[in-house]
Amino acid sequence: MRHEWSSQLTFILAAVGSAVGLGNIWKFPYITGEYGGGVFILAYLFCICLIGLPIMLAEISLGRRGKQSPVNTMLQLSQEAGANPAWSLLGWSGMVAGCLILSYYSVIAGEVMAYSFRASSGMFNHQTADGIKGIYTSLVSDPEKLLAWHTIFMSLTVLSVAKGVRGGLEKTVTFLMPALLVLLIILVLYARTTGGFEQAIDFMFTPDTDKFFYARNDLGNYLMDANGDKIFTWEPMMVAMGHAFFTLSLGMGAIMMYGSYLNRHVSIGKMTLIIVSLDTLVALLAGLAIFPLVFANGLNPAAGPGLIFETLPLAFGNMTDGALIGTFFFVLLFFAALSSAISLIEPSVAWLIESKGLRRIKATVWVGTVVWFIGIGTIFSFSGTTLQDIFQPLFSWVGFEHIELSQTFSKYNFFTAIDFFTASIMLPIGGLLIAVFAGWVMHQDSTEREFSFRSRHVYPVWQFMVRYVSPFLVLMVFLNIIGIFKF
Ligand code: PHE
C-alpha cells in the first residue's frame, strides 16, 4: 500500500522542510539586495498572499486527490474532469524544473557544507571584511573543490530519497527546523548590536520605487536611454513573483507530491497558512540578520549570490563562541537545504517508480546522476564562464562566428540563466496552470470535497482567488514583460 504521513504534524514539517531552505536564507537576502530592498520585499509579500497562498492550497488538494506523482496525478484528474490529458505536461515541466533547480541548489548547498567546516576550524576568527571575502573567492574560483562538495551533497540527497519519504525526512525535520529558527533569532539579536540595524530596517522596509522599477548596471548606476531618461524594467517584479513561487516550492509539483502522501481527513487550510507564515518569517529573519552586517561593515547589499558567505562569517568571527554558533548555523542550513532538495527530486523519482517500474534506489540514482551533470555548468559559472563563452565556440563551430549573444543574454551565465528561467518563468507558468486547472477545469464538487474547510466562508474566497486573482496577476506580469501591453 502507498504510505501516508504518520500525522498532520509530519506533513506540516515536511512541507516546511521543502519550503524553508536556501531560498529563504541564501537567495532572499541577495535578491532583495540586488533589487534595492523595500519595494522588492513589498512586491514579494504581495505575491505570497495573493498568488502563493491560494496556489499552495490548490497544489496540495490536487496532489491529495490524485495520490500519485504529478504527471500521473494530472493525467488522472484531467480524465476525471473530462479534460484534455495534455494537462499532464504540467507534471513534466515540473520534473524538468525540479531537476534544473536542484542542479544549482546542490552546488550552493555544497558551499554551505564547506562553510560548516571553515566555521568549525576557526577560520573566520577576527577576520576583516576583505579577509572573509577572500575566503569565499578562493572557494568559488576552485572548480575542483566545488565539484567535490556538489558530489557529496548530491550523494546525500540520493541516499535520503532512496530511503523513502517516511524514513529519511520526518525525523530530520522535526528537530532541525525549530533549531534553525532559534539560531536565526540569536543572529538577529547579535545584528542589533552591530550599529547597522537601523540602516538595515530602513533598507528593507522603506519603499524606494526608483531602485525597483528602473534598470541599473552592475555598479548600481541607473541606465539611461537616448533622451537621458531612466529605463523602466519589469524584471524585478518578475523576480519577486518568481521568488514567491520558489520559496514556497510551488509551480513544479513538489508540494503536489507531498499532498499526495496526505491523509484524507486533514483540513488543509490551516496547514497552508502555517507553512506560508513560517516560510516568510524565516526569510525576513534572515534579512534582519544579514543586512545590519552589510551596512555596519560598509559592504555592498547587491553583492550577489555570495552575500551570506561574505557577511555572516564576519559575525561568527567576532562574537563569543562564534566558531560553535557558526558551525551550528551552517550545519542547520545544510539540513534545511537537504530537506528542500529531497522535494525537488521526489516528483521525478516517484514517476519513474510508478510508470517505469524502477526500484526506488535505481530511480533515485538515475535522476541524481543527470542532475549532477547539469550542476557542472553552475560550477563553471562561479569561476567566471559566461553564456557567451559557451555559445561562441558553438556558433563558430557551425560557421556563424559573427553572431553574438544579444545584450540581454550576454549578462547571464549558466547559473543565472537557469535560475531565471526556472524561478521566474517555469514556476509561475506552472502555478498559473495549476490555478486554472483547480479553479476552472476540475468539477466544483471535487475541489469542495478535497478542501473540507472548517469554515464555509473559506472555499468561495479561495475559489475566487484561484479563478480570477492569482492567474490574472501572473498573466499581467508576463504580458508586460513580452510588451503586449503596458500600464
Ligand atoms: N523552497 C525551497 C527554498 O526556498 C526551494 C524549492 C523550490 C524546493 C521548488 C522545492 C521546489 O529553498
The per-residue DSSP string of 153-206 comes to: HHHHHHHHHHT-HHHHHHHHHHHHHHHHHHHHHHHHHHHHTTS-HHHHHHHHHS
Tell me, yes or no, whether 463 lies in a domain. yes
* Total domain count, the chain: 1
Q: Give the CATH number for residue 28.
A: 1.10.4160
**Closest Cα to atom 7 of ligand 1:** 249
Give the phi and the psi of residue 222 in degrees, each rounded to 5: -70, 140
What's the 469 CA to ligand 1 centre distance in angstroms? 23
User: Residues 438-456: pLDDT tens digits?
Assistant: 999 999 888 888 776 666 7
Amino acid at the residue 434: I
Amino acid at the residue 330: F
What's the 269 CA to ligand 1 centre distance in angstroms? 20
Contacts of 219 by beta carbon, 8 Å cutoff, 6+ apart:
none
Tell me, yes or no, whether 487 lies in a domain. no
Tell me, yes or no, whether 103 lies in a domain. yes
* 3-class SS of residue 21: coil
pLDDT at position 1: 45
Give the phi and the psi of residue 216 in degrees, each rounded to 5: -130, 160
CB-based contact 1:261 (threshold 8 Å): no
**Closest Cα to atom 6 of ligand 1:** 249
Distance between CA 303 and CA 315 in Å, rounded? Answer: 17
pLDDT at position 265: 78
Counting ligand 1 atoms within 8 A of each CB, the residue from 177, 256, 344 with the most, and so the one to mutate, is 344
Contacts of 395 by beta carbon, 8 Å cutoff, 6+ apart:
401, 403
Counting ligand 1 atoms within 8 A of each CB, the residue from 20, 22, 153, 246 with the most, and so the one to mutate, is 246
Ligand 1 atom with least separation from CA of 341: 8
The residues pairing with 407 across neighbouring beta strands, listed in sequence order, are: none
The residues pairing with 1 across neighbouring beta strands, listed in sequence order, are: none
Counting ligand 1 atoms within 8 A of each CB, the residue from 343, 349, 418, 426 with the most, and so the one to mutate, is 343
CB-based contact 191:288 (threshold 8 Å): yes
Ligand 1 environment, Cβ below 6 A: 18-19, 21-24, 101, 246-247, 249, 252, 254, 340, 343-344
Domain that holds residue 21: 8-482
CA atoms within 13 A on the CB side of 204: 22
What's the 206 CA to ligand 1 centre distance in angstroms? 27
Tell me, yes or no, whether 222 lies in a domain. yes
Residues 344, 347, 348, 353, CA torsion sign: positive
At which residue does the C-alpha cell 506560508 appear? Answer: 276
Tell me, yes or no, whether 26 lies in a domain. yes
Vertex 336 angle, CA 307 and 383, to 5°: 40
Vertex 403 angle, CA 402 and 404, to 5°: 115
pLDDT at position 168: 59
Q: Nearest Cα to 23, choosing from 252, 212, 188?
A: 252
Distance between CA 243 and CA 47 in Å, rounded? Answer: 9
Tell me, yes or no, whether 316 lies in a domain. yes
Burial of 484 by CB count in 10 Å (0-12 exposed, 13-18 middle, 19+ buried)? exposed
CB-based contact 39:207 (threshold 8 Å): yes
Tell me, yes or no, whether 211 lies in a domain. yes
Ligand 1 atom with least separation from CA of 19: 1
Consecutive H or E run containing 63: helix 53-66
CB-based contact 315:132 (threshold 8 Å): no
Distance between CA 153 and CA 150 in Å, rounded? Answer: 5
What's the 387 CA to ligand 1 centre distance in angstroms? 25
Which of 44-74 are b and which e, b meaning 16 or more Cβ less than 10 Å from the residue's Cβ?
A: bbbbbebbbbbbbbbbbbbbbbbbbbbbbbb
For the CA atoms of 117, 123, 127, 129, what is the dihedral angle to 10 degrees? Answer: -30
Tell me, yes or no, whether 2 lies in a domain. no
| pTM of structure | 0.93
Low-confidence stretches of the chain (pLDDT < 70) are: 1-3, 165-169, 218, 405-410, 452-455, 481-487
Amino acid at the residue 179: A
What's the 98 CA to ligand 1 centre distance in angstroms? 9
Distance between CA 349 and CA 344 in Å, rounded? Answer: 10
Cα–chain center distance at 283: 11
What's the 167 CA to ligand 1 centre distance in angstroms? 21
The residues pairing with 224 across neighbouring beta strands, listed in sequence order, are: 230
Q: Nearest Cα to 424, choosing from 284, 210, 287, 237?
A: 237
Ligand 1 atom with least separation from CA of 340: 8
Distance between CA 137 and CA 118 in Å, rounded? Answer: 14
pLDDT at position 411: 73
pLDDT at position 406: 65
